């Protein structure tokens, strides 16, 4: 099943010139990092790849970071990049599978039907001996506008989580580090409380990843089950800002889980509102 979600550097090398294939670098920094990934992209990227800025192609009506964009902005952006609803889109990041899952989740949630992640990211491409490019890549717009198909069951809002605290119909899994989850370390974003949403389970995202790829299905399953997650029951994933929660979303999807939603506001929203319940 993992081949439904990833491609190898060799596969991408062989298909990079396909007429209906677009490559996107979706690199984004952690909140503690001051990294200009656009600058790094311009210095070195996979041939033909475009830079897709998850913080700019986002909802600008809120101060919350990289929330899902409006239909209009998403349609305009993808159309300009030459992406139609049926285009094969290959996503990668320059790090350790940090932001590529968020790109995958965003595109598939809003109507892209054929999205794959480059296993191992840019480093795996370089390690395989394939060439990189410098500078910007000129996009050829799609001949017809991208039509947004919003799959609302794939994301959750604050009210839905509040309701779930009463109904307990869905498990909640937090992708932040154990120290942040249990309030032993301060939040990297100023003004946020420490702790987690009551009843949440903790599966730190980096435990699922090795060398820019997800661990084996058997290892992933063991990690979730060790944290007390029932993989046959509905799940809501959260994190600091909706970025690393997408890594959990991807891993759970690869494992065949059928009902997964991502809380887009995550702790950036919940931790900022003192009236919302919190535990450590």
> What are the tokens at 176?
């932040």
For residue 71, the surrounding DSSP H or E stretch is: helix 71-80
- From first CA to last CA, the distance across the chain in angstroms is 36
Cβ contact 189:222 at 8 Å:
no
Rounded alpha-carbon distances, angstroms, from residue 75 to 48, 112, 148: 21, 11, 6
The residue annotated as part of the active site, out of 239, 257, 278, 280, is 239
Q: Which of the 8 DSSP states describes residue 247?
A: H
Please give the structure tokens belonging to residue 224: 């979730």
In 3D, which of 38, 32, 36, 11 has the Cα closest to residue 190?
32
CB 174 within 8 A of CB 203: yes
Phi-psi region of 129 (alpha: psi -120 to 50; beta: other; left: phi over 0): left
Cα separation, 12 vs 143, whole angstroms: 24
- Any residues with CB less than 8 A from the CB of 262 and at least 6 apart, and which? 105, 154, 155, 156, 236, 237, 238, 242, 245, 246, 249
Query: Could you confirm whether 280 is annotated as catalytic?
Result: no
Task: State how far the Cα of 16 lies from the Cα of 122, in Å rounded to an integer.
Answer: 14
Task: Evaluate the CA torsion angle 62, 67, 68, 74 in order and state its sign.
Answer: positive
Which positions are catalytic? Answer: 239
């Amino acid at each position: 099943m993992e081949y439904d979600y990833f491609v190898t550097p060799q596969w991408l090398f062989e298909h990079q010139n396909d007429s209906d294939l677009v490559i996107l670098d979706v690199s984004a920094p952690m909140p503690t990092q001051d990294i200009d990934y656009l600058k790094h992209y311009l210095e070195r990227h996979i041939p033909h790849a475009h830079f897709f800025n998850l913080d700019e192609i986002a909802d600008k009506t809120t101060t919350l970071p990289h929330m899902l964009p409006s239909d209009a902005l998403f349609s305009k952006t993808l159309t300009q990049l030459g992406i139609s609803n049926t285009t094969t889109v290959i996503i990668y990041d320059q790090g350790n599978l940090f932001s590529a899952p968020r790109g995958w989740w965003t595109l598939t949630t809003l109507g892209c039907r054929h999205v794959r992640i480059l296993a191992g990211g840019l480093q795996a491409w370089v390690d395989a001996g394939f060439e990189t490019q410098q500078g910007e890549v000129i996009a050829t717009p799609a001949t017809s506008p991208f039509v947004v198909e919003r799959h609302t069951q794939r994301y959750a809002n604050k009210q839905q989580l509040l309701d779930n605290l009463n109904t307990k119909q869905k498990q909640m899994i937090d992708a932040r580090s154990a120290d942040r989850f249990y309030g032993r370390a301060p939040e990297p974003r100023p003004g946020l409380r420490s702790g987690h949403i009551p009843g949440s389970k903790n599966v730190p995202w980096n435990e699922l990843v090795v060398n820019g790829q997800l661990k084996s299905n058997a290892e992933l399953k063991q990690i979730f089950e060790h944290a007390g997650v029932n993989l046959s029951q509905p799940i809501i994933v959260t994190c600091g800002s909706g970025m690393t929660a997408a890594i959990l979303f991807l891993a759970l999807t690869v494992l065949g889980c059928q009902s997964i939603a991502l809380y887009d506001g995550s702790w950036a929203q919940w931790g900022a509102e003192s009236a919302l319940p919190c535990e450590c």
